[in-house]
Amino acid sequence: MVNDLPTKRARGPSPGAGSPEEYGAVATAVREERAFFRDLIPVAGVDSEAALSIVRAGHFLLAAFAANARAHGVSEPQVNVLVAVEDRPQGRTMAEIARCMLVSRAGILGVVRGLEEKGYVTCTPCTEDARALRVRITPAGQAVLDGMLPAHLALVDDLVGSCFTQAEKADLVRLLTRLREHVAARRAAKPTKKPTNSRAALGPPDRTRQPPTRNKTRSKG
């Protein structure tokens, strides 16, 4: 699940594409990124540099996708829910959506309720389990997704497609898939630590001990 990043409203017209202001901002961003990693490499090493590069690239991409979502009146998590229930006439349960988005059911509830208030999804009790809710997309919700798609694909092409050749993109998909599956397997294999009860670890309390007595001194008068 992606957290929306706060944005400031522009004061006055923004620089046009290809303007000196835009080129200056791009050059500054590139210099800052290069300086950041140049200072990091001697300290963290190549493993940390690789991990941080993946995280930062993903952060930049998600921030751009979230801005596009807000331009269409929804948040990035709400878009993810709409995508999860799109083309599924039977819909999905809250638990299924949560698994798709790698979040808890409690975390997805507010997102779904927000979509329901906008009229983009419906929530009805499951026939097999009345305690569970089944989420289905509405025509209005599908229209939002359809309206977002051209801008989203343009963003993907601009930020990713134009950066790599077809062969490089195939290699990138292969390497990131290997990394994703490796991390998922390592996390699944790691045993969950149960919180230790310090009192239980020390054993039952010794009730034979007497409470300490205070020495009372009489005042001389």
Per-residue model confidence as pLDDT tens digits over 37-75 = 666 666 667 788 888 889 989 999 999 999 999 999 999
Kindly tell me if the per-residue pLDDT of 29 is higher than 80. Answer: no
pLDDT band at 9 (very low <50, low <70, confident <90, very high): very low
Residue type, 45: G
Looking at per-residue pLDDT, the higher value among 40 and 190 belongs to 190
Read off the pLDDT of each residue in 4-24 and give the average, rounded to a whole number: 42
> Which of 12-16, 43-47, 119-123, 149-153 is predicted with the least confidence, judged by mean pLDDT?
12-16
Read off the pLDDT of each residue in 171-198 and give the average, rounded to a whole number: 82
Q: Residue 76 burial by CB count (10 A; 0-12/13-18/19+): exposed, middle or buried?
A: buried
Residue 19 confidence (pLDDT)? 53
Kindly tell me if the per-residue pLDDT of 138 is higher than 50. Answer: yes
In sequence order, which ranges of 72-217 are alpha helices (DSSP H)?
76-85, 94-101, 105-118, 139-156, 166-189, 198-202
Residue 7 confidence (pLDDT)? 32
Residue 4 confidence (pLDDT)? 37
Share of residues in the chain with pLDDT > 90 (%): 46
Read off the pLDDT of each residue in 7-15 and give the average, rounded to a whole number: 34
Compute the distance between CA of residue 201 and CA of residue 186 in angstroms, rounded to an integer. 29
Return phi, psi of residue 125, to 5°: -60, 140
Please report, in angstroms and rounded to a whole number, the separation of the first and last CA atoms in the chain: 75
> Which of 19-33, 94-108, 109-123, 201-215 is predicted with the least confidence, judged by mean pLDDT?
201-215
Domain boundaries, the chain: 21-71
Read off the pLDDT of each residue in 22-28 and give the average, rounded to a whole number: 65
Read off the pLDDT of each residue in 128-149 and give the average, rounded to a whole number: 91
Kindly tell me if the per-residue pLDDT of 208 is higher than 50. Answer: no
